[in-house]
Amino acid sequence: MTAGRFISLEGGEGAGKSTQARALAAALEARGIPIVVTREPGGSDGAESIRALLLTGETNRWSPHSEALLFAAARADHVERTIGPALSAGSWVICDRFLDSTRAYQGAAEGIDDAAVLALHAFGSKGLLPDRTFVLDMGPEEGARRAARRDGGATDRFAQRDSAFHQAVADAFRRIAAHEPDRVRMVDATRPVEAVTAALLDGLADLL
């Protein structure tokens, strides 16, 4: 499945993942690399339907266990229908959030055991991991301010959680990066867009 390279962008809300997915895609396409940009939850018809279930409604619409299962189901469809075929065709895939978001949000912040999240991923998505993951690191308050400016104050089920929840997510991403330094790199996301994109390209030098 891995003729192309698989890159994921992670971090809290408003950290610049979507902005950097587009900028990185443009920079890599300029080098002649075929790119597919996708996102989670979503990225395939079935997963986009599950996205609507996950992001709308009351904050407590799903229990942490139900939520972890829904994210794993969406990811299985996304890997099967979008990511796997793109990699097999030789494209690089840039994914706005992937497995580490489930480990950070449903795992660290909502209390689902990391081993259980990884077991669901092994079953649903054959354990597929990115070749490189970048955590766009910035304080949750600044990320929330950026997202609020962009969305005019509208929020989804996750953005509505309290600051302790978002701090637990940020801490989890840092822990994952510390434990898996070959795959996961921290990037200071407080800098201007172009500086962050340059840091991502630096972090891909060994794969290019």
Q: Which residues bind ligand Z5A (CB under 6 A)?
A: 13-19, 40-41, 71, 97, 101-102, 105-106, 146-147, 150, 156, 158-159, 192-193, 196
CB of 90 to ligand Z5A, least distance (A): 25
3-state secondary structure of 73: helix
Nearer to ligand Z5A, 85 or 190 (CB): 190
Residues 6 or more apart whose Cβ sits within 8 Å of residue 182: none
Is the distance from CB of 7 to CB of 184 less than 8 angstroms? Answer: no
3-state secondary structure of 132: strand
Burial grade of 111 (CB within 10 A; 0-12, 13-18, 19 or more):
exposed
CB of 87 to ligand Z5A, least distance (A): 19
Nearer to ligand Z5A, 33 or 157 (CB): 157
Residue 117 sits at φ, ψ, to 5 deg, of: -60, -45
CB of 74 to ligand Z5A, least distance (A): 8
CB of 41 to ligand Z5A, least distance (A): 5
Is the distance from CB of 73 to CB of 63 less than 8 angstroms? Answer: no
CB of 32 to ligand Z5A, least distance (A): 25
Nearer to ligand Z5A, 32 or 129 (CB): 129
- Buried b / exposed e over 150-170, threshold 16 CB at 10 Å, is eeeeeeebbbebeeebbebbb
Nearer to ligand Z5A, 2 or 160 (CB): 160
Nearer to ligand Z5A, 91 or 106 (CB): 106
